[in-house]
Structure 1
Amino acid sequence: MTAHPPTRRIAFLATCGLVLALAMGCGGGPETAYGTLRGSSLNGTGAFAELLRSQGHEVRAARRLTDETAGWSEVIVRFAATPGPPGRDEAGWYARWLTQRPGRSLVYVVRGYDAEPEYWDRVLAQLSGEDQPERRAEAELRRGRALRWANRLPPAAEKPADPGAWFSLLPAVEPPATCKALGGPWAQGVDAQAAAIPLRQAIRDEPGRTTALLTGDGKVLAAEWRVEGGGDVLVLASAAFLLNLPMATPARRPLAEQVADWIAAEPSRVAFVEGLDPLGPPRGPRTLLELVEDLPTFRWIAVHLGLFAVVAGLARAVRLGRARREPPPGAGRPAAHAEALGELLAQSRGGPAAAREILGAYRRWRSGDETTERSS
């Protein structure tokens, strides 16, 4: 396997969200949105995207399969929101895209895993039954609900892609079984017991057309094939080692690195396709948060704008403490005292003449003339 110097950094990023979520305990529960590049969801794809970025790839999120997505991307990673193979129309779009330009590749991740049950397992492992019985009971209740995640999945495509050109799945196992043994080229150096890969639906093996890269208990978890006249396709039975919480498990991280190595040897433009229906009607414009997440250049602009906004807010903030009296007009100008005295003298009964007389008497007093007169 190719060495990955930034593996510790990826592990740190993948673990941060888990640590913060566990520290919160049971209150409110974790974020569990599936397949989203943004946020700190247990089922998010941010850690895997960061792994690709560390290898030099440029990663963006796309919610629709458009001409813009087709022209920009060299690799498409589709975290499907539904179980089973893609719909016929979606598969046709991928086939056309793969054959329009050489060197393109597609990673299709079937919806067959949810990280929330494992999250509650970790919460329960940290709680003491004697000291926190109420929190343990709540965590067990939430874990029981999370185990029924498959019942809440969206329905599979009504018109699935041709299995002869794409793939098909074996019947689902309920509840998902944990693979006791891993096989295939990707399993070298992976501790199957520590990885504990859950499996709900395996890929149907088609020797001669597809190549199995990873198996669990003899069932195919990852397979690849080449589209005639086009690029390569990698299908994963689930995202059990690609989402944020699984990538926080050291034993599963090498499998995520295998997927990253498969994508491309050279830095490429990678589009993460999200959402329930990528061929559906367009949604509204991207929000500011989405732009910050998708465009690194805009991210730095947003950071600077945010700092300026904080400084401006502090400058206009309300000053706390005892209010000070407004200084009287001209208090800092010495000449203002004489001017004020002149205005008061001008208002005396004698008018300006009396004011001049008073000032003259003041000058004589200051010069000593008045004292001389009195003594004589």
Structure 2
Amino acid sequence: MNGTRSFRTIVLLMLMACTIMVGCGKPNDKLRTAYGKRTGNEAGSVNGTKGLSEMFREAGYYVRSYSVVSPSMLRHDVIVWFPNNFDGPTPEFRDTILKWLQEEEGRTFVYVGRDFDASIQYWGDVLDKVDPAEKLDVMRQRSLAIESFDQLRNYQTAKADYTFYKIERDAPRRIARSLSGPWAEGVDATKTQIELRSRMIPADEDSIYEGFNSIDGESVPVHLVEDTEILLGTGNEAIVARLGSDYSDNQVILVNNGCFLLNLPLVNPEHRKLAAKLVNQCDQSYYPPESVAFLETEAGVRIMNADQSTDGNSGWEWLSKWPLNLVGLQMAWWLIVLCFALYPIFGRAKRLPSAETSDFKKHIDSVGDLLQATDDHGYAQLRVQQYHQAMKGDTVYRRSKVRRGDGK
């Protein structure tokens, strides 16, 4: 398939970028580690989501990123949330998602936990591939990445309940050696690198109703997430879980962490198979979804009443509102053309009109300026006297007894 080849090309380019970073004398100066970004300069980060978004795009989805929850974002069919913190959805955000699921069929909300850092995996992978002279620096970078990630985790509570799921963060670090569940079919578990730090416990029917009954305010559609299915697991714990209902095609997909969905882990072919299963899981309804929103947040989720995307407000949003959108763009275009026509100078400069020589006043002013420039009062009087004599027809005496300079 062309889509598969295109994505493989992206992955190969990522591999080449990683190789170049290692080959340069100072790989630590070029490694990008920003988490959960799919656009901008950080799209190529080892912790980015560009690879996953391209898989959605190749599957035929329209993909866009948002930094806040806005009406524009809630018009999408699939919402993928990669928070850059360990907090789960707040009660307000959970209510917003449940009401969004209730509005239309075929919608999916995907939550991917933060408890993974691909930069640690990166430095571990390249340790055996660099020159001996660079190994000490790579080991130092890996230690710094581990220290930074552990400090981030140490500020989190050991246990937390987010209604959709419960989390236990005091579990030991472990690698999934075997996989189970529908997503495990066709995936070689021995070739995966699924790293787990926290233990995710998806909610069952009783805990769902108990959790939402404690929330004050307007009732929420709890029946949309009353059933739980483990899509991917290892041993007796869940890696990926689905919350849904027999009465609706909508679903909530919970992923323990992004160890097989971020840019660097997607270099692994087995991880790409799991990511493809996530993409396919979003298309399980009679009405196929068409658009995907990637929600990228740092600390908490902001819920806005007005549309606001990651691009921010440019000040030209009024051009997209009816009825101004009918003529606004045309008016703006012609105003721009008018400004370019009136103000800038294009081509050869215009020739200014020449001064008129028939104006006798200008001649008098010029003669006066010349006489003043001589700084000789006597000489100036003589020239004026000669002029009056010439106008009367008298004899003009052109010689003066006073020398220039004597009459000052």
Q: Which amino acid in 2 is paired with 1:98?
A: L
Say if 2:235 is the partner of 1:222: no
Answer whether contact 1:45 1:244 (CA < 8 A) is retained: yes
Answer whether contact 1:223 1:236 (CA < 8 A) is retained: yes
Structure showing greater radius of gyration is: 2
Answer whether contact 2:67 2:310 (CA < 8 A) is retained: no
Matched residue SS, 1:244: coil
Answer whether contact 2:115 2:197 (CA < 8 A) is retained: yes
Hey, what does 1:10 align to over in structure 2?
Answer: 7
Q: Which amino acid in 2 is paired with 1:139?
A: V
Say if 2:31 is the partner of 1:30: yes
Q: Which amino acid in 2 is paired with 1:140?
A: M
Calculate the TM-score normalised by the size of structure 1: 0.67
Q: Which runs of 5+ in 2 are unaligned?
A: 206-226, 315-408
Aligned equivalent of 2:73, options 69, 74, 92: 69
| Distance in 1 between residues matched to 2:70 and 2:186, nearest whole Å | 40
Aligned-CA RMSD value: 2.8
Matched residue SS, 2:111: strand
Say if 2:261 is the partner of 1:242: yes
Hey, what does 2:50 align to over in structure 1?
Answer: 46
Answer whether contact 1:87 1:160 (CA < 8 A) is retained: no
Number of aligned residues: 277
| Distance in 1 between residues matched to 2:128 and 2:8, nearest whole Å | 21
Q: Deviations over 1:30-87 (max 9, x none)?
A: 101100012210011111111111111110001111112113x111111122225312
Hey, what does 1:80 align to over in structure 2?
Answer: 83
Hey, what does 1:279 align to over in structure 2?
Answer: 302
| Distance in 1 between residues matched to 2:269 and 2:8, nearest whole Å | 8
Q: Which amino acid in 1 is paired with 2:114?
A: R
Hey, what does 2:182 align to over in structure 1?
Answer: 185
Matched residue SS, 1:256: helix
Aligned equivalent of 1:91, options 94, 115, 120: 94
Hey, what does 1:169 align to over in structure 2?
Answer: 167
Say if 2:291 is the partner of 1:253: no
Matched residue SS, 2:270: coil
| Distance in 1 between residues matched to 2:178 and 2:131, nearest whole Å | 32
Q: Which amino acid in 2 is paired with 1:231?
A: N
CA 1:27–1:220: 2 relative to 1, 3 Å: closer
Q: Percent identity?
A: 26
Matched residue SS, 1:252: helix
Q: Which amino acid in 1 is paired with 2:63?
A: V
Q: Deviations over 1:1-56 (max 9, x none)?
A: xxx65323213213423421331222414101100012210011111111111111
Answer whether contact 1:74 1:104 (CA < 8 A) is retained: yes
Q: Deviations over 1:96-126 (max 9, x none)?
A: 1111222211111111111001111222121
| Distance in 2 between residues matched to 1:48 and 1:284, nearest whole Å | 18
Say if 2:291 is the partner of 1:269: yes
Hey, what does 1:298 align to over in structure 2?
Answer: none
Q: Which runs of 5+ in 1 are unaligned?
A: 289-376
Q: Deviations over 1:214-262 (max 9, x none)?
A: 0123310000012687821110001111111011111211000000100
Answer whether contact 2:93 2:303 (CA < 8 A) is retained: no
Tell me how far 1:170 sits from its aligned partner. Answer: 3.2
Say if 2:103 is the partner of 1:100: yes
| Distance in 2 between residues matched to 1:230 and 1:191, nearest whole Å | 30
Say if 2:53 is the partner of 1:55: no
Calculate the TM-score normalised by the size of structure 2: 0.62
